[in-house]
Structure 1
Amino acid sequence: MRDKDNLENSFAFQLNFNKTFNTLPEHPKLTKVQDQIAKGFSKNAADELIVLFKQRAVEAKAYGEKNPVSYLEFEPGRYFNYIELLPRNKEMLDFNYEDNQYFAEDSYDIDPRNDNKCLQLSFFKFQLDSADQAPLFSATYYFDEEMREKEDAKLTVKNNDMLIALNQIIPDLNDRLKQRYKNAKKMGQELLNNQAPVEIQQEKVKPNEPCPCGSGKKYKKCCA
């Protein structure tokens, strides 16, 4: 919401199609007035407006599936969920264990400069309402068999049994994850190539400050 008279009063929130709203993570907390405005706008939104927003959401999703680079931002060291990277890929890592349905999510460090040859696997129990569901456990999956065995040895018996169940349902799991690893690194390279260059600004050294060369002398009597 934008305040034309005072831009500092502008704020954002998530409008849900059931005419409720949620605050956004990493955004300033809404004031009481802003909260009332968001609640009133959401509750009283015209049905035609909701239909329009639904159409735009479908269009945005379709565009994002074709052009994930348009909304992804390269962040060194961050692990990206594979479905987030390539939303058009519908191949799930789901399996059954003790008569219950589970699934695993694979996440990758997409930095092409980091040839880490591993990924993060997070395990979830399948639930109809899975929003904000915390993983049952997470583990590092190494492509090197010896390193993978050492990592698996750290798991509890139950968690290790779940990992075994996943491998039994997907016999080519290792090969499949290797291909997804390659795809993730390829996406990382594309994002890195599209990243705007960072301009490094060096602060000018004042004459009486220590010289940055490390001599211990004042700058004006050394490298000025």
Structure 2
Amino acid sequence: MLNFDKTQGQLPNQKKYTKIQSEIIKGFVKNLPKELLVLFKQRYAEAKAFGEKDPKSYLVLEPGRYVNYMECFPRNAENLNFSCEEAKYFAEDSYELDPRIDNRDVNLVFYPFELDDKNLKPIFTYTYYFDENKRAEADSKLGPKESNMLLGLNRTIPDLFETFKKRYKQSKSVGEDLLKSGPKIPMFEDKVKPNDPCPCGSGKKYKKCCAFKTHDCTYQYGCPGS
């Protein structure tokens, strides 16, 4: 990730760079011409303005990929800022857009709230399940610091569950639009084995999902079970 002050940082939830990769990045940033930096700034401003006008122009429906809520709704002013033990933090929420996948969860990444956020590193990631039993199991695996931060978020936003449900529905609605306007998914030519993940994206094994379905398969553009 390149910052406009010619510093660089690691992207969240990405593998740590190898030594060679780090050296290449440092060399690129160090020798970056001023003209190219100006061009990057110009394209950043253009892309941001265009994206705010029509987010669906750059969003891609990719089953299994969670998209930051603010990428879908950049003009939304509802943030997830909160305080915990006299420190300030914020969370970013991401959603699976594919409407064919009934995942019913939210991916959260927690950050310290700092004015200088150029090299901001995530504190921890957490999956917020709508199902209470799954959520309780996930909560039991958190350490004391993470539990306190999650409690702080819930105290700051009392209707957190309803907020996530609303954003989940909005994100799925975006996925519906992308599914209608995007390229049709081709039929599978290779035979799907019984224990393979079902192509419909449900997360279930093929034999327990669409293997014996004919007309009601959720895989809209050609299910091997039809």
Shift of 1:178: 0.5
Give the CA deviation at 1:57: 3.8
Deviations, residues 160-185 of structure 1 (Å, cap 9, x unaligned): 11111111111111111100000111
| TM-superposition CA deviations, 1:122-158 (whole Å, max 9, x none) | 1111123323533211111111222212211111122
CA distance in 2, matches of 1:56, 1:193: 29
Quick one: which amino acid aligns to residue 163 of structure 2? R
1:70 aligns with 2:54: no
Q: Is the contact between residue 3 and residue 118 of structure 2 (CA under 8 Å) also seen in structure 1?
A: no
User: Is residue 2:91 matched to residue 1:104?
Assistant: yes
> Given the superposition, is the C-alpha separation of residues 149 and 64 from structure 1 closer, same or farther in structure 2, using an over 3 Å criterion?
same
Q: Distance in 1 between matches of 2:80 and 2:126?
A: 15
More off after superposition, 52-61 vs 182-191: 52-61
Q: How does 1:158-197 map to 2 (within 5 A)?
A: 158-197=145-184
Letter in structure 2 aligned against 1:177? F
- Note if 1:116 corresponds to 2:106: no
TM superposition shift of 1:98: 1.4
Equivalent in 145, 167, 185 of residue 132 of structure 2: 145
Q: Is the 1:121–1:138 contact (alpha carbons within 8 Å) kept by the matching residues of 2?
A: yes
Q: Distance in 2 between matches of 1:132 and 1:84?
A: 20
Unaligned runs of 5+ in 1: 1-13, 204-224
Secondary structure of the structure 2 residue equivalent to 1:120: strand
Amino acid of the structure 1 residue aligned with 2:112: K
Instruction: Please give the per-residue CA displacement for 1:64-107, whole angstroms capped at 9, x wherever unaligned.
Output: 11201111111110111111121111211011111111011111
The answer as to 2:68 corresponding to 1:81 is yes
* TM-score when normalising by structure 2: 0.66
Q: Which has the higher contact order (CA 8 A, sep 6+)?
A: 2
Q: Which residue of 2 aligns with 1:210?
A: none
What is the TM-score normalised by the length of structure 1? 0.66
Are positions 1:155 and 2:142 aligned together? yes
Gap runs ≥5 in structure 2: 12-20, 191-226
Q: Which has the larger radius of gyration?
A: 1
Counterpart CA distance in 2 for 1:56 and 1:103 is 28
Question: Does the 8 Å CA contact 1:21/1:39 hold for their aligned counterparts?
Answer: no
Q: Is the 8 A contact 2:81 2:90 kept in 1?
A: yes
> How many residues were matched structurally?
180
CA RMSD, aligned part only?
3.6
> How many angstroms apart in 1 are the aligned matches of 2:125 and 2:137?
15
Give identity over the alignment, percent. 47
2:2 & 2:104 partners in 1: Cα distance?
40
Cα–Cα, structure 1 residues 106 and 201, in superposed 2: closer, same or farther, change >3 Å?
closer
Structure-2 change in CA distance of 1:76 and 1:129 (3 Å): same
State the distance in 1 between where 2:68 and 2:50 align: 19
Give the direction of change, closer, same or farther, for the CA distance of 1:202–1:121 in structure 2 (3 Å limit): closer
